[in-house]
Structure 1
């Protein structure tokens, strides 16, 4: 006779035990495969990332092919002039060097549309324009689109001639330093500013601390010095063409038509006009340095993996 089984009690059938062990083994194997696949994917992704970086490095290192036929070389100066920006000194100077070194380039035209920016970056570009002109004996022209103000005009005066549209905005030969002061508001709110410094002027221009007259004078002297440097560059670049008035270096700006009358610009004209009628080379070749597809992919890929790495580090156990 067959012995009856007690309800709720695990069967002693060896088939049941074998089935359970198989399920546990398959689950463990599945988990190991998933971990192995993720590891392989991660390694391949990092390999692809480094291949993209190597490709980008080769693209940057490889010399640009020379355009032997006669043409007008164009370099754009657009947006804020600042380190790390599209219109940084590094980017503009590199593009200008490529343009000057190309034997087919009859002249270099800077197409400017910028409200200004760093006087340091603009000064580097201006100095390099003068150096490259003397070295390669090629003319440089500036063509203003909508705006050529402040640091952008600092760059433009390095050109042999400046062409503008009648409605362009030109000028703003001045220097500024801006910020906010919250000391009065803090007094009304009863907030105390606790700033510890080593050096009595280390907190200079801190918006939550009052500015002394000595600090104000120091800041103004610095601005005046940079302004004098700016004025000197403009006078050197424009020479006798400049019709100086008390307002010329006041920070005001004017239309392109007024700028021509004041000697801040030479005449009305577009890029096509300059290439066709001034340079006598209608073909225009753009030497502006732009971020290519590889750079964009590398940056996005790197940012994504960087974020993933940070999350992994936060989740990983650490020795205490």
Structure 2
């Protein structure tokens, strides 16, 4: 009996400690004087499950930052890209937050910060890439799956009832008509021009012709992106450096002698993970095509 009571006490204590650290760990010993917020944006853009983030996730963190009132922000972006809509929303959220709070935002690129990840990095004041960061991949892609030939071989006939001739455009059960292909190409190139415009607006010393040459979907390591100017106001990124380098440079830029750092990470619930997985499976079955800012190592 005594052993059981002792075991119950230990289990209860562990539960209390777990809850305490889960709820209050971000507030332990964090001074608010000269606070620098490090915000981690990791995963695919535009989903709700694990290893992903969307505009609602970013908005929640920005609401916390409104209360914390940091002196500056470093976004640690590790993303291969994602949906066009959510990417653009996050880009605009960052821009609006900067203007509203008159605050400097730096970006530190992680292992991969390409395509949509690079797009949202454009909203910052300065971009740091590590030498082996994979970045660039500036462009838009839409992949369509077609099962028509396979279904014919198996002997399956799909009957589609539609209200207009374009209602099943992009269907995996039939080929695109030339007219439909043209329609999709117009959408893709309009979004591509939007991407080009964002880079042009934020890489002020790069000519449009240079940007277009660099924006054919190529992937660059951070060291090359810096030489090409993709990481710099005169190129694609500003500087080569780690997260610590970005924080140090921001501290110097803000003329702060000492700083306190607080990290913000997007927290996903177990339920969100399940819902995301289920939603993705249903989406693939219903409509396997999607327009995305996507990084691909190989075709």
Considering the TM-score relative to the shorter chain, is it more than 0.5? yes
Report how far residue 83 of structure 1 moved: 3.8
Within-5 A mapping of 1:60-79:
67-79=31-43
* CA distances 1:142-188 after superposition (whole Å, capped 9, x unpaired): 10010011111110000011100011001111111112212223334
Report how far residue 282 of structure 1 moved: 4.8
Asked whether the equivalents of residues 200 and 211 of structure 2 are also in contact (C-alpha less than 8 Å), the reply is no
Inter-CA distance 251–236: structure 2 relative to 1 (3 Å threshold): same
CA distance in 2, matches of 1:100, 1:139: 14
Structure with higher RCO (Cα < 8 A, 6+ apart): 2
Are 2:181 and 1:216 aligned?
yes
Within-5 A mapping of 1:99-138:
99-103=65-69, 105-138=70-103
Asked whether the equivalents of residues 96 and 108 of structure 1 are also in contact (C-alpha less than 8 Å), the reply is no
| Structure 2 counterpart SS, 1:177 | strand
| Structure 1 counterpart SS, 2:265 | coil
**Going by fraction, where is strand more abundant, 1 or 2?**
2
Task: Tell me which stretches of 4 or more aligned residues in structure 1 moved more than 4 Å.
Answer: 64-67
Alignment-derived partner of residue 291 in structure 2: none
**1:250 aligned to 216, 220, 228, which one?**
216
Inter-CA distance 239–101: structure 2 relative to 1 (3 Å threshold): farther
Inter-CA distance 98–130: structure 2 relative to 1 (3 Å threshold): same
Query: Once structures 1 and 2 are overlaid, which stretch shifts more, 84-93 or 222-231?
Result: 84-93
Inter-CA distance 79–242: structure 2 relative to 1 (3 Å threshold): farther
CA distance in 1, matches of 2:239, 2:147: 47
Within-5 A mapping of 1:84-99:
84-85=48-49, 86-99=52-65
Are 2:45 and 1:81 aligned?
yes
Asked whether the equivalents of residues 196 and 211 of structure 2 are also in contact (C-alpha less than 8 Å), the reply is no
Number of aligned residue pairs: give it: 235
RMSD (Å), alpha carbons: 2.6
Asked whether the equivalents of residues 97 and 132 of structure 1 are also in contact (C-alpha less than 8 Å), the reply is no
Alignment-derived partner of residue 283 in structure 1: 260
CA distance in 2, matches of 1:90, 1:167: 30
**2:237 aligned to 265, 273, 282, which one?**
265
Structure 1: gaps (5+ residues):
1-54, 304-320
TM-score, normalization by structure 1: 0.67
TM-score, normalization by structure 2: 0.71
Asked whether the equivalents of residues 74 and 284 of structure 1 are also in contact (C-alpha less than 8 Å), the reply is yes
| Structure 1 counterpart SS, 2:198 | helix
Report how far residue 191 of structure 1 moved: 3.5
Alignment-derived partner of residue 21 in structure 1: none
* CA distances 1:29-84 after superposition (whole Å, capped 9, x unpaired): xxxxxxxxxxxxxxxxxxxxxxxxxx9xxx8xxxx899521122111110001142
Report how far residue 257 of structure 1 moved: 0.7
